[in-house]
């Protein structure tokens, strides 16, 4: 993990299944697949400093239209933390 993402938080109870660094357009990101409380989902995580000039809709657009990751008709959530912004998608509940 590069210095940029060395402090990436993980919420208590969350199991990271896959975590890898990638690039979307000109943005360094971390792509994760995770499981929490019966929910499987995926995230693209940005460093806030890198996207300071973008609003929430623009960040969601980067994830939805600039990657082939987001499934059609999936809900997307957006969470801006102190250092990182998380765009979560492809939610599936386990049976």
pLDDT bracket for residue 67 (50, 70, 90): confident
**Distance, CA of 95 to CA of 78 (rounded, Å):** 25
Q: Which domain holds residue 85?
A: 13-90
Handedness of CA 83, 75, 59, 4 (dihedral sign): positive
Decide if 8 is inside a domain: no
Total domains, the chain: 1
- What CATH number does residue 35 fall under? 3.30.200
Q: In this predicted structure, what is the pLDDT of residue 68?
A: 80
Q: What is the pLDDT of residues 9-42, one digit of tens each?
A: 999 999 999 999 999 989 999 999 999 999 999 9
pTM over 0.75: yes
Q: What is the mean pLDDT of the chain?
A: 93
Q: In this predicted structure, what is the pLDDT of residue 46?
A: 97
């Amino acid at each position: 993990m590069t210095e940029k993402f060395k402090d990436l938080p993980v919420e208590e109870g969350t199991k990271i299944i896959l975590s890898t660094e990638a690039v979307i357009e000109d943005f360094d990101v971390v792509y994760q697949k995770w499981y929490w409380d019966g929910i499987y989902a995926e995230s693209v995580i940005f460093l806030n400093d890198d996207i300071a000039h973008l609003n929430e809709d623009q960040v969601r657009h980067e994830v939805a239209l600039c990657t082939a990751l987001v499934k059609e008709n999936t809900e997307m959530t957006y969470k801006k933390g102190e250092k990182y912004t998380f765009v979560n998608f492809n939610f599936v509940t386990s049976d």
